[in-house]
Structure 1
Amino acid sequence: MSLDGQRLDSDRYAVIPRTLSFLLRQNEILLIKLASDREGWSGRYNGIGGHVEIGEEPMSAARREVLEETGLETDQRLCGVVNIDTGGALGIGLFIFVGEASGDERLLSGSEGVPAWLPVDQLSDHDLVEDLGFLIPQALKARSEKGIFFAAYSYDNDGKLQITLTE
């Protein structure tokens, strides 16, 4: 399709693409304990990810983010897509990936935070970013079924996260 055919209009809803990766090793999942300067999420565990840069597609961005934040090179598979309505003209398109780590590679820490292997069955014992209790089970289910899940996030008037899963 030509650029003219894209019908770009600044009045339309726009989405900023991001990735979030969950890496597995036996019964553990690799999360990152976010740095103290991360407003709202400081000290909490999250998946590994970030923004898709200009000229990148989501898979390459996911691999790049994992390499930058952990030092690991991994193969990953798309397992979910979440549209996040922030209440404004800009939203977020979140691409969820799951991959496997091969063994006991040394993890790097950086400005984003400190990566850590956590037992999957003990995640409730840790301070997780709000939506991980939803995302991780959905991503692992999609991975095992070789499928992709779709969801939408929005926020109510009190700023509380609302999650809708498309069946």
Structure 2
Amino acid sequence: MKNTTLCYLTRDDKVLMLHRTKKHNDVNEGKWIGVGGHVESGESKEMCVRREVWEETGLTLKSLKYRGVIDFLPDKFESERMFLYTSDEFAGEMHECDEGDLKWVEKDQVKSLDLWEGDRIFLKYLVEEAPFFHLKLNYQGDKLVSSELMPRVILASQSPRRRELLEQIDIFPEIIPADVEEFTLETEPSAVVEDLSTQKANATLLKLLRSGQHASDKPVIIIAADTVVVSDGRILGKPASHEKAFEMISALQGRTHEVYTGVTLFFLGSSDGRPALTNRKTFSEMTQVSVYPMSEAEIRAYADSDEPMDKAGAYGIQGSFGKNIREIHGDYTNVVGLPVGRVWNEIKGLWGCN
């Protein structure tokens, strides 16, 4: 499956549309679409959309909103995963595009253009300011034969690592971080992370309900997690300073420690037309991690970098600290911050997803 991006730029109740009329052997020939293109090797989604908009329009994006993921599943061509964005702030002088004609179109006139049928579906979501969505579109030739809106998944965390882990297993979450003070009366590591993950799930659920953005006819999954490192029975959270990071790494080097991640899953459906918590699950996973001996200079160099400052135990196994890991026993993704194998299987078991 190839990865692409698409962006709709808006200003003064108008949308910038591209009429694909110039490109040879263009699968989109004659259609009106947004601006975008293929994600190149080593390029992030955001880097791609910014580059494509600049190349095709001459405009530099100043703001960017990630709105959804569209899976195109045709019978004749390679499948495509498109990352959908909008922007209402940009700069520069617009130039001609070598793939078609650019035109600012009144929002209420977009639906009268020659659009792909699947595009009409997700453009409606964009106009309605729908929350982040994942849509699958099945085509036979040029005909849309089915569309499926995937369950809305909310990650109660701003952690890019947890988001990336979920995206690796084709779960594309909306981010609604839990604003909670991480305090618990529990003392056992597994109980600590399970309690904190439950607090986060509850906080995000409350934010969702207060926002009024929960449509009762659409299922929702909330995923909340908390991770701690345990050394000699002592729980190590995120370091408050580089000196604290140095102390934590000093305690871990040359030894084996444990990483615990607690996860809480909330499943929301509807009851009498109102949102309702229909199921829930809380669990924790533990992974043992052994670290090679490190010199004081090595510890100091790592502790003084930015990498340890937002991570439990003051290290990230997926970063440069990986060179100091001798072995692990258990789930690697649990150490990164979310045991995605367990998460996926709990979701399957409780909701019957495939």
TM-score normalised per structure 2: 0.39
Where in structure 2 are the equivalents of 1:9-158 lying within 5 Å? 15-36=1-22, 37-74=24-61, 75-87=63-75, 90-101=78-89, 106-141=93-128, 144=129, 147-156=131-140
Count of aligned residue pairs for this structure pair: 148
Aligned-pair CA distance for 1:38: 4.8
| Residues 38 and 44 (structure 1), Cα distance of their counterparts in 2 relative to 1, 3 Å cut | farther
Aligned to 2:74, what secondary structure does the other structure show? coil
Equivalent position of 2:143 in the other structure: 160
2: CA distance between counterparts of 1:131 and 1:84? 9
Amino acid at match of 1:127: D
Percent of pairs identical after alignment?
26
Q: Conserved in 2, the CA contact under 8 Å of 1:34 and 1:43?
A: yes
- 3-state SS of 2:117 partner: coil
State how far apart, in whole Å, the 2-side matches of 1:67 and 1:134 are: 26
Corresponding letter in the other structure for 1:148: F
1:134 is displaced (CA, Å) by 1.2
Range with greater deviation from structure 2 (86-95 or 22-31)? 86-95
Structure 1 residue 85, shift from structure 2 partner? 1.9
User: RMSD of aligned C-alpha atoms?
Assistant: 2.3
In the alignment, the residues of structure 1 paired with residue 106 and residue 76 of structure 2 have an alpha-carbon distance, to the nearest angstrom, of 37
Higher Rg of the two aligned structures: 2
8 Å CA contact 1:79–1:96 kept in 2: the answer is: yes
Q: Please identify, of 124-133 and 27-36, the stretch whose mean Cα deviation from structure 2 is larger.
A: 124-133
Q: Which structure 1 segments of 5+ residues have no match?
A: 1-14
1:123 Cα offset (Å): 1.4
Aligned residue type for 1:95: F
Gaps of 5+ in 2: 151-217, 219-354
Over 6 Å off, 4+ runs: none
Query: How far apart are the structure 1 equivalents of 2:75 and 2:95?
Result: 35
- SS, match of residue 3 in structure 2: strand
Letter aligned with residue 86 of structure 1: P
Separation (CA, whole Å) in 2 of partners of 1:38 and 1:89: 13
CA distance in 2, matches of 1:135, 1:30: 16
Measured in 1, the distance between the counterparts of 2:40 and 2:98 equals 18
Please state whether the residue corresponding to 1:138 is helix, strand or coil. Answer: helix
Residue 81 of structure 1: how far off its partner (Å) = 0.4
Aligned partners of 2:90, 2:38: CA distance in 1, in Å? 25
For residue 115 of structure 2, what is the amino acid of its counterpart?
L
Residue 89 of structure 1 deviates from its aligned partner by 9.4
Q: Which has the higher helix share?
A: 2
Aligned partners of 1:112 and 1:133: how far apart in 2? 21
| TM-score, length of structure 1 as denominator length | 0.77
How far is 1:102 from its partner? 5.0
Can you list the C-alpha shifts for 1:38-58, whole angstroms capped at 9, x where unaligned? Answer: 534323211111100001111
What residue in structure 1 maps to residue 309 of structure 2?
A: none
**CA distance change for structure 1 residues 160 and 89 in 2, over 3 Å: closer, same or farther?**
closer
Higher relative contact order (CA 8 A, sep 6+): 1
